[in-house]
Amino acid sequence: MFYITLSLTYVAGNILGKYLLKNNTINSVLRVGYCIFNIGAILLAVAGVFHLQLIIMVISISVLTFGNGFLIPLGTAGVVGSFSTDIGYASGLLGFLQLGLAAISAVIIGIISQNSIVGLGIYLVITTFIGSLIYLKLNPVEA
């Protein structure tokens, strides 16, 4: 049931992100995705710190996957679309970075979590905020 919930929220994020892209720039829609992703991370950290019920954790992770539904497809399209040549190289490098950083994160989470959701929540808050800051630095808000 948990996996179905995450899949549905990811697909819902894909659909809403695509819908919002009709009337907005890709950067503005990605900012929305980052906001949602950060909110999910904060909710998960709070749920872990205060030992809230499992349903709250499921909702928190669902918010994360909803935001991820914005970020992965639109981010991939933005990266690949910014290259007029060498699109294959750009796509390959992006895939390598995603899988490599996921592997590194899995090791770090395994070390710091110690079978506790608190460590995972704190790690996600830190990494989602760092990702957001990097994105905003590279893509400043248009006036």
List domains and CATH numbers for the chain: 2-138 (1.20.1250)
Q: Over the stretch 37-86, which tens digit does the pLDDT of each residue have? A: 999 999 999 998 998 888 888 999 999 999 999 899 998 888 888 888 88
Q: Which two tokens stand for residue 7?
A: 């899949």
Q: What is the pTM (predicted TM-score) of this model?
A: 0.87
Average pLDDT, stretch 15-41?
94
Output Rg (C-alpha) for the chain, integer angstroms.
16
Residues 19, 42: Cα–Cα separation, whole Å: 26
pLDDT exceeds cutoff 90 at 140: no
Return the SS3 of 88: helix
CA-closest candidate to residue 9, choices 75, 65, 72, 68: 65
CA angle 23, 68, 132 (to 5 degrees): 85
